[in-house]
Amino acid sequence: MRWTTGDRGNVEDLRGRSGGMRAVPMGIGGVVVLLLLSWATGVDFMSLAGGGGPAPSASVGTTGSGPVATTPAEEKRVDFVDAVIGDVQEMWQQKLGNRYQPTRVRLFRDAVDTSGCGFAQAASGPFYCPGDQRVYLDLGFFDELQQRFGAAGDFAQAYVLAHEVGHHVQKLTGIDSRMREMASRNPSQRNELSVRLELMADCFAGVWGHATNQAGRASQGHVELESGDIEEGLRAAAAIGDDRIQRMQTGRVFPDKFTHGSSEQRVTWFRRGFERGDPEACETFQ
């Protein structure tokens, strides 16, 4: 990938902040949020919140902040995140018009108190919080993506970011609310509905890949694809399928526990979005 350094207007840097934890009661809405925030590492947000009991919550950075200890390599990653998010959002602005409202990525280290979804740890991976409409990311996840999952390359990282912005689009267009209503009516189908939501976000990431790959767009956007980038995205989608992660962790596969979809499903929907370039082709709830 080739990308252009911007002004970091798409990121909020919380890496130098620390947040306190305080427990508050969690209703069914909070439980659904935690289920949706599980990412490909297989870490269960419900266990982080005490199995649906009292969950910690606080505003971001409530107990203080300090200077960020960083490196040139890490700062380059910050610029990369800013460039990709800017490009993804530019595409969605073109497709949705005034319906699209920008989000930002909140960068943190180790743990964070979100302003809309309570406390989260870096081990949970990147996630989108519907409560504050922000994407959360510990930059160390990119190392884990390559070292643990074998998904190397900058487009593999960009795919993850585009996937999370896809959840923001779902929030803005009411898809997220529709899923919550369906889950409330059919609690036994919650995992299946979560899979459908995640596969749609994979497809949305593919739609962005399609748009970025169009001739002439690179001069207008922040990102330009190179040979092999889409293959990196497909490998990343395959690497973080529920079946592969479960097999890595336990040696067995439990389809009824899927929350994001199998490797085959994730690859299929990412490819569908990339080939068609149309969000309407990403309807997974039919």
Residue-wise pLDDT tens digits, 100-123: 999 999 999 999 999 899 999 988
Ranking 29-33, 157-161, 162-166, 200-204 by mean pLDDT, the lowest is 29-33
**pLDDT (0 to 100) of residue 67:** 66
Average pLDDT of span 136-143: 94
- Report the predicted TM-score, pTM, of the whole model to 2 decimal places: 0.80
- Residue-wise pLDDT for 226-247, tens only, equals 888 888 888 888 887 877 778 8
Q: pLDDT band for 24, please (50, 70, 90 cuts).
A: very low
**Selection from 111, 282, 109, 124 nearest residue 210 by Cα:** 282
**pLDDT (0 to 100) of residue 271:** 94
Say whether pLDDT at 143 is over 60: yes
**Selection from 282, 263, 260 nearest residue 206 by Cα:** 282
Ranking 2-11, 33-42, 111-120, 126-135 by mean pLDDT, the lowest is 33-42
Say whether pLDDT at 94 is over 90: yes
**pLDDT (0 to 100) of residue 40:** 42
Kindly list the distances between the CA atom of residue 99 and the CA atoms of 95, 102, 119, 166, 168, in Å, as whole numbers in the listed order: 9, 10, 29, 14, 12
For the chain, the average pLDDT equals 81
- Residue-wise pLDDT for 166-221, tens only, equals 999 999 999 999 999 998 999 988 888 999 999 999 999 999 999 998 865 544 55
* Contact partners, residue 150, CB within 8 Å, separation at least 6: 235, 239
**pLDDT (0 to 100) of residue 285:** 85
Average pLDDT of span 40-60: 37
Kindly list the distances between the CA atom of residue 208 and the CA atoms of 12, 30, 163, 164, 263, in Å, as whole numbers in the listed order: 22, 30, 9, 12, 20
